[in-house]
Amino acid sequence: MEVEATKKEELVPIFIMGKRYEVPASLTIQKAMEYAGYQLIRGCGCRGGICGACGTVYRFPGTYKIEVGLACQTVVEPNMYLTQIPFFPATKSVYEMEKITPSVETLVKHYPELLRCLQCNTCTKSCPMDIEVMDYIAAGMRGDIARLAELSFDCVMCGLCTSRCPAELCQYNIAILGRRLYGKYVAPRAEHLASMVQEVEKGKYEQMLRGLMDTDEETLKNLYTSREIEPEQADENWTPKDKTYL
């Protein structure tokens, strides 16, 4: 029986550095650039939407609007005009965690532009991770460090919010400072972790670790595969507030 040939995948036109290329419609921007013959040696990152290294700006003919996204996530569309911004320079303050406090004064001292925020929401509209960027900046302006940390937790540091901000804020670096302040001064201390650290420092596990280091590879493999594994338990009441912020 004769089998009908698979239909050829649809090709769409995109423009890279002003030159037109025909690429499969199913590809992401990153894969489309490689399909077009470009070798990506910087700005590739994780290729999975985690690191934020592949920030991209693009436009379509006949519209004034600037679109943004991560090249590893965004699927090509016909007549995209692409510009890569793998690194966006932004203000980054230097501070010592032991000498600062979790307050709006700390945020403003290190990032005074925070108070210039217009609440225009351009940053939120630019975020490829669907983070409420404007809301966490507003929380920072109120000195609500916990809320700032909670809302910015999923930030991948791509810089797209900063590249579009008319008030010239560096939202993601403000968020990092907020999360650091939360982790050091606001988050509840884990008592079991403190006791475990004490046991480690007293050398409780030294003999056991030494025994493992002196064990042959095959025995280590058997120990690993036969280890006791705790079953996963889904918690329907889990919320992002249950995360431990770093």
User: Could you tell me the pTM of the whole model?
Assistant: 0.73
CATH of 11-84, one of 3.40.50.2000, 3.10.20.740, 3.40.50.720, 3.40.50.20: 3.10.20.740
Span of 66-75, 159-168, 232-241 with lowest mean pLDDT: 232-241
Q: How would residue 238 be classed by pLDDT, with cut points 50, 70 and 90?
A: very low
Q: Assess contact for 68 and 56: CB atoms under 8 A.
A: yes
Q: Assess contact for 23 and 11: CB atoms under 8 A.
A: yes
Tell me the three state secondary structure of residue 15. strand
Q: Map tokens 């030294």 to a residue.
A: 206
Render pLDDT for 163-218 as a digit per residue (tens, 0 to 9).
899 999 999 999 999 999 999 999 998 888 889 999 999 999 999 999 999 999 99
**What does the domain layout of the chain look like in residue ranges?**
11-84, 97-186
- 97-186 — its CATH code? 1.10.1060.10
Render pLDDT for 23-74 as a digit per residue (tens, 0 to 9).
999 999 999 999 999 998 877 888 888 888 888 999 999 999 989 999 999 9
Domains 11-84 and 97-186 share a fold: no
What pLDDT does residue 42 have?
77
Question: Which element (helix H / strand E) includes 172?
Answer: helix 171-181
Q: Map tokens 């650091």 to a residue.
A: 180
Name the CA dihedral angle for 148, 151, 156, 162, rounded to a multiple of 10 degrees. -60
